[in-house]
């Protein structure tokens, strides 16, 4: 529990006790519990009106946040106190026994003393002033409280020392102990709840003087009271004479004062030592921060902006790089001093500040200086918070990375040029190699056909079979070379077209009608989108997947191929599902490798390049292709085509 929390709990307990005690005394008067009323004193008792006023003061404090109700209670207290004072000097209709009859007093029945009435006027006025007057005038309420506090303390000390002051100060001779105690307690509560201004600032403040004062209150107030009580007791028992008591009292008070001064000096010395240590730490931290700042100023631009992005402060490096002096930069939007482009508007908007109120934004920006020079900067935008934990400023650190960025761009451009050159060389090599390979194949095929036509009678069965093997081998080799040529041509001389894929699949179904009919295959095409793509290549993807579904069908089961599509964020996802033999999970990646086959030639014909074609075409469209195990029989191929055509149109 914190110190403030403990004080609040004590305040609430004391306030409730004062209210409950006042209500209890009112009930005692109502039911004539004489023993309760005269429990502490038979002559000076708390009157019914006095208890009522204490209850009203307690209510005004308790409901201080409900201003109207608190003011009503305060006004009632002032009115009762003022009317009672007038009753002492002017003949007025009595309110003293308006509710209950005072059968214990011989005269002025039920009337509170002038002291009590004036104190209630002071308490009520203090409540009204603190609730309704500007803060700079609330010191007047504290003066009222101070007067009530001093007079209440006077009566309490008189009671504790058993030395009544009624003979010397006649107007307090009817005061009760409990009345003075409640005045004291309620005064302290109101005082502690008041703002820390005026006298309260000295008592309740957190400055060194206020702290020391609170530590010295107990010895300064209570030690003289205790000494007075002891010495009065000794005088009454004739143990010491008055002159001896005065000497002893003077010596002890002087000693206590000296000890108090020593304690005060010690406390101040301790505080000064702590303060000096703290100052030394602050100076060290300040020096470290200055070193860090100087180092940062040497390598980066440092800009302080408010929540709207308006410049509050810049360093010398900012001027060196941008050519903008600090006086020209202040109170201007940073995005106008160092524009980056269209997305400047997204910075320092309410949405952006809410998103980056607790974290750092980091990124590279291409800025344009006042002279028109383009610079690249590495940026860090750091939020600064105030005492209310609200982001009110941003510190921007911009490091000039122009040279590094230029080197990166040069390297990228050089890499792209080399890559383009290698691709051209590879395409040329593939084309030449494939073309040169076809010529000897045609020669071999021609010779084999010539031998079979003119000299077949000279060959036995083994020789004829060997020539058939040669014919089949050269045919397969021819297919491989053609597939290799087709693979190398994918991605060349392409033009984006707006393609209705429903029409494309309808045309493809007609082209594959003989294949589908011969194998009793059923092609189901759901609603497909219209999108920009490379029409011929996309058609080849669907053709290869449909052909594979027919080729790798289950024995004795008619093939069923189902094609569907769904829209994702920036792409379309297509699904080709069949009921064929399927693909084992361990083969799901290597099937897209060129010339990769999972079956022997005598089991399933093919070159092993069809899926490699598909992957290359899908990659051209910034998409992906994969096999998915969805629990259904057969194979489920999925691929995506991006709708962000600008990403690959430029490349093509």
For 612-646, the pLDDT digits (tens) are 888 888 988 889 999 887 767 888 999 999 887 75
Which DSSP string do the residues of 361-381 spell out, in sequence order?
A: EEEEEEEE-TTS-EEEEEEEE
Cα distances (angstroms) measured from residue 6 to each of 18, 64, 215, 228, 510: 19, 20, 17, 32, 89
**pLDDT score recorded for residue 235:** 81
163-167, 369-373, 437-441, range with the lowest pLDDT: 163-167
Average pLDDT over residues 161-168: 59
CA torsion angle for 176, 181, 182, 184 (degrees, to 10)?
130
- Fold exhibited by the domain 490-649: Heat Shock Protein 90 (3.30.565)
Pair 492, 485: CB distance under 8 Å? no
Q: How confident is the model at residue 338 (pLDDT cuts 50, 70, 90)?
A: confident
What are the residues whose beta carbons fall under 8 Å from the beta carbon of 268, sequence distance 6 or more?
208, 212
**pLDDT score recorded for residue 608:** 63
Backbone angles phi, psi at 598, to 5 degrees: -100, -10
**pLDDT score recorded for residue 524:** 92
**pLDDT score recorded for residue 487:** 63
Taking residue 42's Cβ as centre, other Cβ atoms within 10 Å add up to 10
Strands 301-306 and 311-314 come out as antiparallel
Q: How confident is the model at residue 79 (pLDDT cuts 50, 70, 90)?
A: very high
Closest by CA position to 526, among listed 571, 567, 582, 581 = 567
351 vs 349: CA distance, rounded Å: 5
Average pLDDT over residues 460-488: 72
Q: How confident is the model at residue 600 (pLDDT cuts 50, 70, 90)?
A: very low
**pLDDT score recorded for residue 617:** 86
pTM for the whole structure: 0.46
Q: For 495-544, what is each residue's pLDDT tens digit?
A: 788 999 999 999 888 888 888 888 889 999 999 999 988 888 888 889 88
Closest by CA position to 625, among listed 634, 615, 616, 617 = 615
Q: What superfamily in CATH does domain 300-400 come from? A: PAS domain (3.30.450.20)
**pLDDT score recorded for residue 80:** 92
**pLDDT score recorded for residue 607:** 56
114 vs 123: CA distance, rounded Å: 14
**pLDDT score recorded for residue 174:** 54
Q: Is 621 exposed, middle or buried (0-12, 13-18, 19+ CB in 10 A)?
A: buried
Q: 462-487 burial by CB neighbour count: b if 16+ within 10 A, else e?
A: eeeeebeebeeebeebeebbebbbeb
Helix (H), strand (E), coil (C) string for 445-506: HHHHHHHHHHCHHHCCHHHHHHHHHHHHHHHHHHHHHHHHHHHHHCCCCCCCEEEEHHHHHH
The DSSP 8-state label assigned to residue 152 in this structure reads: H
Does 284 score more than 80 pLDDT?
yes
Average pLDDT over residues 301-313: 91
Average pLDDT over residues 589-599: 64
What is the Cα 499 distance to its own chain's centre?
A: 47
Average pLDDT over residues 430-441: 68
Does 134 score more than 80 pLDDT?
no
Write out the two tokens for 302: 């440092």
Average pLDDT over residues 188-202: 74
Closest by CA position to 492, among listed 428, 539, 549, 544 = 428
Pair 48, 95: CB distance under 8 Å? no
Comparing 139 with 646, the larger pLDDT belongs to 139
Pair 55, 22: CB distance under 8 Å? yes
562 vs 575: CA distance, rounded Å: 8
176 vs 38: CA distance, rounded Å: 10
CA torsion angle for 143, 164, 41, 112 (degrees, to 10)?
-40
Mean pLDDT, the chain, whole residue set: 81
What are the beta bridge partners of residue 577? 562, 636
Q: Is 191 exposed, middle or buried (0-12, 13-18, 19+ CB in 10 A)?
A: buried
Does 91 score more than 50 pLDDT?
yes
26-30, 139-143, 423-427, range with the lowest pLDDT: 423-427
């Amino acid at each position: 529990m914190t110190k403030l929390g403990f004080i609040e709990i004590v305040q609430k307990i004391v306030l409730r006790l004062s209210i409950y005690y006042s209500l209890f005394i009112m009930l005692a008067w109502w039911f004539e519990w004489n023993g309760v009323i005269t429990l502490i004193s038979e002559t000076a008792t708390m009157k019914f009106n006095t208890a009522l006023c204490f209850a009203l003061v307690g209510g005004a404090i308790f409901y201080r946040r409900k201003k109207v109700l608190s003011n009503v209670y305060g006004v009632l207290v002032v009115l009762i106190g003022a009317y009672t004072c007038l009753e002492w000097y002017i003949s007025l209709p009595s309110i003293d026994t308006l509710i209950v009859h005072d059968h214990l007093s011989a005269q002025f029945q039920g009337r509170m003393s002038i002291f009590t009435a004036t104190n209630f006027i002071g308490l009520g006025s203090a409540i009204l002033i603190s609730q309704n007057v500007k803060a700079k005038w609330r010191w007047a309420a504290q003066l009222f409280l101070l007067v009530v506090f001093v007079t209440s303390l006077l009566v309490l000390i008189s009671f504790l020392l058993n030395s009544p002051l009624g003979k010397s100060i006649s107007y307090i001779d009817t005061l009760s102990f409990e009345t003075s105690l409640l005045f004291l307690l309620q005064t302290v509560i109101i005082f502690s709840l008041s703002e820390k201004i005026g006298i309260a600032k000295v008592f309740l403040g957190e400055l060194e003087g206020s702290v020391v004062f609170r530590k010295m209150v107990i010895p300064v107030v209570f030690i003289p009271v205790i000494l007075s009580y002891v010495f009065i007791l000794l005088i009454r028992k004739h143990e010491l004479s008055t002159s001896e008591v005065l000497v002893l009292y003077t010596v002890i008070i002087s000693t206590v004062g000296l000890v108090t001064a020593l304690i005060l000096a010690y406390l101040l010395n301790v505080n000064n030592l702590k303060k000096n240590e703290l100052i030394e730490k602050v100076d060290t931290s300040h020096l470290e921060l200055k070193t860090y700042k100087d180092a940062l100023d040497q390598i980066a631009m440092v800009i302080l902006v408010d929540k709207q992005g308006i410049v509050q402060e810049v360093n010398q490096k900012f001027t060196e790089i941008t050519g903008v002096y600090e006086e020209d930069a202040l109170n201007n939007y940073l995005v106008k001093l160092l524009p980056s482009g269209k997305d400047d508007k997204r910075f320092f908007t309410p949405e952006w500040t809410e998103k980056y109120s607790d974290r750092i934004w980091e990124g590279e920006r291409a800025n344009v200086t006042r002279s028109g020079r383009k610079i690249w900067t590495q940026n860090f935008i750091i939020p600064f918070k105030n005492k209310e934990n609200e982001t009110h400023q941003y510190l921007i650190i911009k490091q000039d990375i122009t040279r590094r960025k230029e080197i990166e761009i040069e390297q990228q451009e050089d890499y792209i040029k080399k890559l383009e050159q290698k691709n051209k060389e590879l395409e040329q090599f593939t084309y030449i190699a494939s073309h040169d390979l076809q010529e000897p194949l045609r020669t071999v095929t021609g010779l084999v056909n010539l031998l079979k036509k003119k000299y077949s009678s000279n060959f036995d069965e083994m020789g004829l079979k060997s020539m058939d093997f040669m014919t089949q081998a050269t045919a397969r080799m021819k297919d491989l070379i053609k597939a290799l040529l087709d693979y190398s041509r994918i991605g060349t001389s392409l033009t984006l077209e707006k393609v209705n894929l429903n029409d494309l699949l309808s045309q493809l179904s007609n082209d594959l009608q003989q294949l589908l009919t011969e194998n009793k295959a059923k092609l189901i095409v759901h609603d497909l989108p219209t999108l920009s793509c490379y029409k011929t290549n996309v058609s080849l993807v669907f053709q290869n997947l449909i052909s594979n579904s027919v080729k790798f069908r289950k024995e004795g089961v008619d093939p069923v191929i189902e094609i569907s599509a769904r829209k994702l964020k920036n792409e379309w996802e297509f699904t080709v599902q069949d009921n064929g033999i399927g693909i084992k999970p361990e083969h799901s990646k290597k099937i897209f490798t060129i010339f990769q086959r999972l079956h022997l030639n005598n089991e399933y014909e093919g070159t092993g390049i069809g899926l490699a074609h598909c992957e290359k075409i899908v990659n051209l469209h910034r998409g992906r292709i994969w096999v998915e195990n969805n629990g259904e029989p057969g194979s489920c191929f999925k691929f995506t085509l991006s709708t962000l055509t600008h990403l690959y149109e430029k490349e093509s």
